[in-house]
Structure 1
Amino acid sequence: MDDRRSESSAPLRRGVPLLVSTDQGRAEIYLRDIPEGTKAVTVPRSGVDGPRVPLDRKRRINPAEVDLVAKAPVPAFAPPPELTRTELIKVLRTKAFRQWSSTQKDFGERAWDIMTALVRAGGIALRCDVVNGLDYVPKSWRLTQPWADLAEDQLDELLGRADPDIVRAELARLMEAVPELAHECGLLLAFPEGSRLAVPAASCTGTDRWTVYDAAVRAASVWWPRTASGERMTAKELAAVALRGSKNWSTARMQAFANLIGTPFDLAVDQSDTEVRLRGPLVWSVGGVAADATRGRPWISLPANGVQLLGVVECDAIGIFLIENEDTFERICTKTDLSRDWLLIWGQGYASTALASLLRSFQDLPLAAWCDLDAHGIQILTDLTDRVGRPIRPVAMEPSLFERGVKYIQKPEKQNANLQLAERLTSTAPVPLRPLAAAIVQAKGAGCEQESLYPHVIPHLRTLLLETHS
């Protein structure tokens, strides 16, 4: 039976919980009288291997302080109705954190109600001291990453702007010099004189927020000519030139710019931020911008920490398929129809903490992966299985395929290290991978890359994944 689904045959999984995990030193704990719609999570401690959950000498969770955060996934920016416009402006102007004493001075007797409403809306994390193990007192608060990321754009919306006709004319002048933006320019010029500022309904940016639209257009007006001349820009360089500040990118602005130029952000500019490349039936909405992994060509790239910490996710995939190598990921995205019903993700070798947290969020979807047929390919999948906490079905990682693949050239010391790793993996890897580990041992540490197996695997991937889904 064909496992492809029609658009209406499977429900969307909405609001995937991407807020906290033990990988970040976070664990939910019980405290008395926690406000409805919130939860208490531990504040991470520094450890040799990164953030860790605070434990006492008996290995019990024993925090001295906690953060109150939203209990359920929430939109990236949805201010609670309890806040007035003036109060919301005060909140958004918070640069780092604010002490509870100054909060009480600013908001008076409404301070507690306002702050807990903001916690429920995902706007702030409320830091509290733990008292006698079960009680708590508020100490300070800070904006969550989603709200901090969108604060500048939202303040611009709340505080008003210059004359709409002047603003539109300035943007139009920028676009008129760039042939690739002629269509977008025409949409903007179609507004009658005197109209309020609004994003054109058919804009390619995919946003409904003017400040995000404005930033995307300005960035594209610089990026297109520079790219046409053969110049490669960094993300910070583009922001410094087009947005008048190297730190003026936000998650929403990045995605709107990528939508406008029709190129994933990580391919358009050089940057140091970690990206997750996706292709398949998933839509991620953040800051008024929708990133559609079905429509992106050849994929969409999302900031790993952003996906992990904010936004609303809608996913209609029947499973998740991880691919280790970049070339293989691109080939499967462009040469197969798997992305119609499978969510394809580029694993980039050993998975980041953000990617592992993202995978844990999709508890109801089966996981499959195709890695290089070598000791490190097995170790990558072993490591990720441990971090995700549930089985990941290996695909096309059988000894028979290893025998047929072209073995890559290795220096003797490298091959010996791979042999030793494979020997350990014959007893420590997930059971389905142990036969491959044994074959690698028999081949004295040899390895076979995915790219050498394209004719033997890619035409048959749907059948192989059907076995995973069954």
Structure 2
Amino acid sequence: MTVPRKHKHGNEVLHRVPLDQKRRVKPQVADLVAAGPVTAYAPPEGMPDRLLKKVLSTGTFKRWPTIEREFGAQAAWRTAVSLILCGAVVVRCQVVQGTGFVPQGWRLTQSWADLREDKLAQLRGHPDPLRLHAELLQAMKGIPQLAEEHERLAATAPGRTLKVPRGSASGTEDWGVYEVAVKSAAVWWCAQPRSTPMKAKSLIGTSMQDTKYGWTPPRRQAFANLIGMPFDQAVEGSDTELRMRGPLQWRVDNVIADTAACRPWLGLPARGLLSLGMVDCSAVGVLLVENQEAFTEVCNTPGIADQWLCVWGAGYATHGLAEFLQVMAPLPVASWQDLDAHGIQIIANLSERVGRPIAPVGMDVEVYRSATKYRQKPEKLAQNLTLARKMAASGPPALRALAAEIVAHGGAGCEHETLYDTVLESLPLVLEKIATGP
């Protein structure tokens, strides 16, 4: 991959691809990366633990002379290639005469960097397994919500190495991830109820007695599994959460999140979902629902979440949701929004950001005419009327008739809660038509 040049324009730093006088790409620096998808963490087969520890000890960047010294001058390149192919490192090279290259050093990929701390601790071993085992049991003692986990751990005797108990609610097999998740869950439960969520940094700093610990995606998911609540609801200062239900599994190292197995839905971190681990989705399409209560109703309606990946849109889409929908292409995307001017604009905005049309469901003129209109202050009604006129002229073609009808009613709108009986009964058939296409 060609590394762009940095170019300062006033106070702004710009990046541009280096070109020759004929405007052809002329790279001076390149990164060697894996050509295809790889698992989040799968070390090269047969690599000894002592060498794996040296790889994981990379902080930000390890220079090539250091790599040759640690792995041997003859074996350094062979080792680097095996690590590139398994998605462990990115090797930075100086380009020589257009086609040749000289390695400068490597850095860990994002997935390996996120798992680095836990994997190093696992490789280095536990100095006192009995003490660590007893500490976790003590942390969970007397907390009703962790009683089953306490029982599982108590029945798992520690040996020379520590093992996560079979059937753990955390969903992980990695002791380092398990320890952070259990201790944090214990601190979190002891602090409930609270009027405001705990800070993510404060929670892990208190539970691990060290603020240098970070919330890696596996730790976040294992903690969320233990407390039975999406991470961003439990704490502040976390990744954007996508609430979903349907045929999708996300595997981060050995932590598995299954959106089909959770009731009524599962929360997953948008950034982690896109940048780390492997996603396996067999859905026929993605259905967005604006209202939280309506989203729960959709998830509980037979015949929808079995085939469609249902996602709570939470109004105007976050960057995380828009990026997720881009990655899910070419799956069709349907959206059920409030029947008002803003509901139409949400679909228009998202269609533009995703780069493909969004099919509206439950948002036709007949439904609007017969639905109960919600009360609005005069100034708000005037704003919605102005927006409806704009949408009638330039909104998504499939929704311009609805926008015109909203204009005819002076900007009035209808909310999801009054439309359950009308929309939910026919929704499975409507989605089936969208999935099969015209």
**TM-score for both structures, normalised by structure 2:** 0.86
Residue number in structure 1 paired with 2:313: 347
The structure 2 residue matched to 1:397, chosen from 363, 380, 383, is 363
Residue number in structure 2 paired with 1:302: 268
Contact kept? 2:371, 2:414, Cα under 8 Å: yes
User: Which letter does structure 2 place at the counterpart of 1:264?
Assistant: P
C-alpha distance in 2 between matches for 1:388 and 1:62: 32
Residue number in structure 2 paired with 1:177: 142
Residue number in structure 1 paired with 2:215: 249
Contact kept? 1:43, 1:67, Cα under 8 Å: no
The structure 2 residue matched to 1:373, chosen from 339, 349, 359, is 339
Residue number in structure 2 paired with 1:159: 124
Q: What is the correspondence of 1:313-352 to structure 2 with a 5 Å cutoff?
A: 313-334=279-300, 338-352=304-318
1:114 is the counterpart of 2:86: no
Residue by residue, what CA displacement relative to the aligned partner does 1:173-220 show, whole Å, maximum 9, x if unpaired?
222222222222222222346464111112111111111111121112
C-alpha distance in 2 between matches for 1:428 and 1:189: 64
> Matched residue of 1:322: which SS?
strand
Residue by residue, what CA displacement relative to the aligned partner does 1:132-165 show, whole Å, maximum 9, x if unpaired?
7766554453222211111110000111112322
C-alpha distance in 1 between matches for 2:24 and 2:305: 44
Q: What is the correspondence of 1:74-85 to structure 2 with a 5 Å cutoff?
A: 74-81=38-45, 83-85=47-49
Distance 1:391 1:185, change over 3 A: same
C-alpha distance in 2 between matches for 1:250 and 1:118: 21
Identify unmatched segments of 5+ residues in structure 2: none
**Cα distance, 1:170 vs. partner?**
1.8
Distance 1:86 1:410, change over 3 A: same
Contact kept? 1:42, 1:53, Cα under 8 Å: no
Q: What is the correspondence of 1:124-135 to structure 2 with a 5 Å cutoff?
A: 124-128=89-93
Residue by residue, what CA displacement relative to the aligned partner does 1:418-447 show, whole Å, maximum 9, x if unpaired?
444433433543322222232233334433
Residue number in structure 2 paired with 1:19: none
Contact kept? 1:129, 1:137, Cα under 8 Å: yes
Residue number in structure 2 paired with 1:448: 414
Contact kept? 1:53, 1:61, Cα under 8 Å: no
Distance 1:135 1:344, change over 3 A: farther
Q: What is the correspondence of 1:82-93 to structure 2 with a 5 Å cutoff?
A: 83-93=47-57
Residue by residue, what CA displacement relative to the aligned partner does 1:69-112 show, whole Å, maximum 9, x if unpaired?
32222211111236432232122122222344544444434333
The structure 2 residue matched to 1:464, chosen from 422, 425, 430, is 430
C-alpha distance in 1 between matches for 2:8 and 2:317: 19
Residue by residue, what CA displacement relative to the aligned partner does 1:294-324 show, whole Å, maximum 9, x if unpaired?
1223321111110011111122222211112
Contact kept? 1:82, 1:117, Cα under 8 Å: no
1:359 is the counterpart of 2:325: yes
User: Which letter does structure 2 place at the counterpart of 1:354?
Assistant: G
Distance 1:51 1:332, change over 3 A: farther
**Alignment size in residue pairs:** 430
Residue number in structure 1 paired with 2:403: 437
**Cα distance, 1:126 vs. partner?**
3.3
Q: What is the correspondence of 1:50-65 to structure 2 with a 5 Å cutoff?
A: 54=16, 65=29
> Matched residue of 1:459: which SS?
coil
Residue number in structure 2 paired with 1:4: none
User: Which letter does structure 1 place at the counterpart of 2:339?
Assistant: L
Contact kept? 1:82, 1:114, Cα under 8 Å: no
**TM-score for both structures, normalised by structure 1:** 0.80
User: Which letter does structure 2 place at the counterpart of 1:148?
Assistant: A
**Cα distance, 1:354 vs. partner?**
2.9
1:208 is the counterpart of 2:210: no
User: Which letter does structure 2 place at the counterpart of 1:123?
Assistant: A
> Matched residue of 2:167: which SS?
coil
C-alpha distance in 2 between matches for 1:451 and 1:313: 33
Residue by residue, what CA displacement relative to the aligned partner does 1:38-79 show, whole Å, maximum 9, x if unpaired?
xx266598999x999846899998876554332222211111
Identify unmatched segments of 5+ residues in structure 1: 1-39
Q: What is the correspondence of 1:134-153 to structure 2 with a 5 Å cutoff?
A: 137-153=102-118
Distance 1:69 1:276, change over 3 A: farther
C-alpha distance in 2 between matches for 1:193 and 1:83: 27
C-alpha distance in 1 between matches for 2:157 and 2:185: 24
Contact kept? 1:54, 1:61, Cα under 8 Å: no
C-alpha distance in 2 between matches for 1:210 and 1:379: 47
Distance 1:325 1:110, change over 3 A: farther
Contact kept? 2:133, 2:158, Cα under 8 Å: no
User: Which letter does structure 2 place at the counterpart of 1:454?
Assistant: Y
Distance 1:204 1:407, change over 3 A: same
Residue number in structure 2 paired with 1:225: 190
**Cα distance, 1:345 vs. partner?**
0.9
Residue number in structure 2 paired with 1:388: 354
C-alpha distance in 2 between matches for 1:221 and 1:152: 22
Contact kept? 2:242, 2:270, Cα under 8 Å: yes
Contact kept? 1:54, 1:62, Cα under 8 Å: no
Structure with bigger RCO (C-alpha 8 Å, 6+ apart): 1
**Cα distance, 1:414 vs. partner?**
4.6
* Identity across the alignment (%): 44
Contact kept? 1:44, 1:51, Cα under 8 Å: no
User: Which letter does structure 1 place at the counterpart of 2:287?
Assistant: F
Residue number in structure 2 paired with 1:69: 33
